[in-house]
Structures are given as C-alpha cells and as structure tokens.
Amino acid sequence: MIDNERLASAIKIMLNPSRYKICEGCSSIVSIGTRICPNCHAYRYNDDEDYVVKQAEILGKSEQTSVTKDDLFT
C-alpha cells in the first residue's frame, strides 16, 4: 500500500529537484542546504537532478524502511 504522505513528498521533490540532494550514506533525500544527514550523519551527497527525481520516484512508491530521528524519540 502506498503512503499518500510519502507520495506527496516525492511529487514535491520531483517538481523541484534542484532544492534536494541524495545522501550517499543512506540514500535519503534531504534539502540542498543540509550539511550532515539527519538519518545517518553522513556528509557526502549526490545533487544530480536526474538522480534526485529517480530516487524520489522510487522512495515515493515504497514503504519506509529506514529509521529516522523521529522514530527514536517516540
């Protein structure tokens, strides 16, 4: 089952890929101004817009499998 909130986020990213980048540590999509990934604390990113769109499409259609900081404090 596709999560509508996740899909909406993916569409937002696909419409403005220049505002995002992909973490090379965990493949999370983060805003372009992020210095350290909030999920895995990596600091290397790929900001290729085609890659961002492709990753957003993949993540928008899949269930969340990564642990986020919000998961740790609930």
Domain coordinates in residue numbering, the chain: 4-72
pLDDT at 61: 83
Distance set, CA 63 to CA 35, 36, 49 (Å): 26, 24, 23
Specify whether the backbone of 7 is left (phi greater than 0), alpha (psi in -120 to 50) or beta: alpha
> pLDDT tens track of the chain, all 74 residues?
567 888 899 999 999 999 999 999 999 999 999 999 999 999 999 999 999 999 999 988 877 655 555 656 65
pLDDT at 48: 98
The Cα–Cα gap between 14 and 50 comes to 9
Indicate yes or no: pTM above 0.75. Answer: yes
The Cα–Cα gap between 20 and 72 comes to 24
Question: Residue 44: which of 31, 35, 53 has the closest Cα?
Answer: 35
